[in-house]
Amino acid sequence: MNPGIVYATLAYGIWGLFPLYFRQVAEVPALEVVMHRMVWSLLFVALLLLLLRRWAWVRVVVHQPLVLGAFAVSAVLLSGNWLTYVWAVHNAHVLDASLGYFILPLVNVGLGFVFLGERPRSGQWLAVGIASAGVLWLAVQAGHVPWLALVLAVTFGIYGLLRKIAVLGALEGLALETALLAPLAMVYLGWEAWAGRGMFVQGTTSTLTWLLAAGPLTAIPLLLFAAGARRIPMATLGILQYLSPTLLFLLSTLVLGEPMQATRLLGFVLIWVALMVYSLEGWQFRQRRRRHFAKN
């Protein structure tokens, strides 16, 4: 199996379970949670780089301003996605968040088609069409333009594209992104503490421990995702991504108790049919190619 598929599957699985973590810091404002994620992610990644002695990439950044600019854009997209997602979980909109990540694979396929010249096969297009119908049905059932879902899908879709074509590796790229974000986060957290607010002043030991855990819990799936994105096509990355919103859907309805209209189930069924079509088409394609090579 392509290791990129394994990396991406692990990343999406962790992300799908993230609401369980955010329940532990539910009393912390969404913006402050994001700021802690920036700071502790940088610390975690810096420790990894120190252990691995991988600092040669710094010269690339210093001598290529375009690289720094590209990662500044990806850092902004990442922070915006984080803030939107945490706000959604804190305000009982996990189902809306799951819709956003159901839309994301379609964004990935479109970005791969437009910017990377990827040309999905006919069976893959069929899967994308079925999934699109499911997403459209979910949006119609919501009764309004799903702005929150669209923000999540577009920000992370473009972020994934930038990481796929980035000149830096997964670890180095995340280090640069968090290094760009962390100074702002430290200023914010310092100001809050000086004003007598924030978890550094008011938080319990348990809450502060959970916030510290945001470092590895944020960095590890991002590293897995970036490693996977560099190894597999955007279309494949997009289909694997359905694991995350499916877990979000199950958590929101079975664990978090968010209401679920029976009519919306049709949309989720269509999306899972699309996943099965895509998987079956990929298996048949590999079998045909294996037979072709065996004959030659």
**CA distance linking residue 64 with residue 61, whole number of Å:** 5
pTM over 0.75: yes
In this structure, what is the dihedral angle of CA atoms 73, 74, 75, 76, given to the nearest 10 degrees? 50
Write the pLDDT tens digit of every residue in 77-126. 999 999 998 998 888 888 788 888 877 877 888 888 888 888 888 888 88
Per residue in 150-171, pLDDT (tens digit) is 899 899 899 989 988 888 888 8
Total residues belonging to the chain:
296
pLDDT given at position 49:
92
CA distances from 176 to 25, 60, 73, 152, 180 (A): 26, 11, 11, 22, 6
Q: What does the pLDDT average to over 222-250? A: 79
Distances 224 to 7, 12, 17, 23, 146 between C-alpha atoms, Å:
5, 9, 15, 23, 28
Q: Is 79 exposed, middle or buried (0-12, 13-18, 19+ CB in 10 A)?
A: buried
Region 41-53: mean pLDDT is 92
Task: Identify the weakest region by mean pLDDT among 42-46, 191-195, 265-269.
Answer: 265-269
In this model, does residue 7 exceed pLDDT 80? yes
The domains of the chain are located at: 3-128+144-259
Question: Helix 122-142 crosses helix 94-115 at what angle (to 10 degrees)?
Answer: 150
Per-residue pLDDT at 187: 95
pLDDT digits (tens, 9 = 90+) for 55-75: 888 888 888 888 899 999 999
Q: What is the pLDDT of residue 73?
A: 95
For residue 137 the two structure tokens come to 């049905």
pLDDT greater than 90 at residue 3: no
